[in-house]
Amino acid sequence: MKLFIKFDINTICSLFLKQKLEEEKMNFTTLGFGEIELDENLSVEALETLKNNLGPFGFEVVENQKSVLVQKIKDAIIELVYMDDNNNFKSSVFLAEKLNHSYGYLSNVFSEVTYSSIENFIILQKIERAKQLMLVNEMSLTEIAFLLNYSSVAHLSTQFKNTTGITPSAFQRIIKKRRENLK
């Protein structure tokens, strides 16, 4: 039997991080997605242990200030892309307001640290979200384009093909065929 499970990546990450910190018997306060405040300073050994325990699961303790800001930018973009209604937000305005910096500054820091642009990261996240919506909800491309704030289905399709190498329709056919083969 095959099940399709809808999930919220933010909730999963938050719960996992909470579980790992509690296993280490660390008292903490969650300040936001990917940001916690420990009630006491960690020894060098305890910090290394935490890094080693989180690393295999794709978590990384960020210590450089620019890297911290880049992580906050990524988290804010993921939050924006996964909002049920993000049509009212222009990404540059959303990021500037959320992070209390000008968009120009955020863009420069992001590019300096990642060697890529905020726009490219947004596109990648939107395409991942589109794929998830096609897999789980079986939404139409029109509905997905609207939800992800694309100006048209053609715009979504172009970015999807440029990012994945296949069209959204081809992606949907592959998924449909795989589901039929599993029956």
pLDDT per position as a tens digit, 152-177:
999 999 999 999 999 998 998 888 88
How many CA atoms, within 13 angstroms, populate the side-chain half-sphere of residue 30?
14
Tell me the C-alpha to C-alpha distance, in Å, between residue 134 and each of 82, 123, 128, 131, 148: 14, 16, 10, 5, 13
Q: Residue 54: which domain range?
A: 7-61
- Taking 80 as the threshold, does the pLDDT of residue 135 lie above it? yes
Residue 143 belongs to some domain of the structure: no
pLDDT of residue 100: 93
Is the residue at 51 inside a domain? Answer: yes
142 assigned to some structural domain: no
Taking 60 as the threshold, does the pLDDT of residue 86 lie above it? no
Amino acid (one-letter) located at 89: F
Average pLDDT of the residues in 30-53: 79
71, 83, 85, 100, 141 from 62: Cα distances, Å: 8, 25, 30, 20, 37
Average pLDDT, the chain: 85
Of 8 and 170, which is predicted with more confidence?
Answer: 170
Confidence (pLDDT) at 87? 59
**Cβ–Cβ under 8 Å, residues 156 and 148:** yes
Tokens representing 127 are: 């395409």
Whether residue 45 is contained in a domain is answered as: yes
Residue 52 placed within a domain: yes
Closest by alpha carbon to 86, among 34, 31, 130, 117? 130
Question: Is the model's pLDDT at 146 over the cut of 80?
Answer: yes
**CA gap 35, 21 in Å, rounded:** 13
| Distance from the Cα of residue 108 to its chain's centroid | 20
Tell me the torsion sign for CA atoms 158, 159, 160, 165. Answer: positive
Structural domain total, the chain: 1
In a domain, 117, yes or no: no
Would 33 be classed as within a structural domain?
yes
43 within a domain of the structure (yes/no): yes
pLDDT of 121 higher than 90: yes
Note the pLDDT of residue 156: 94
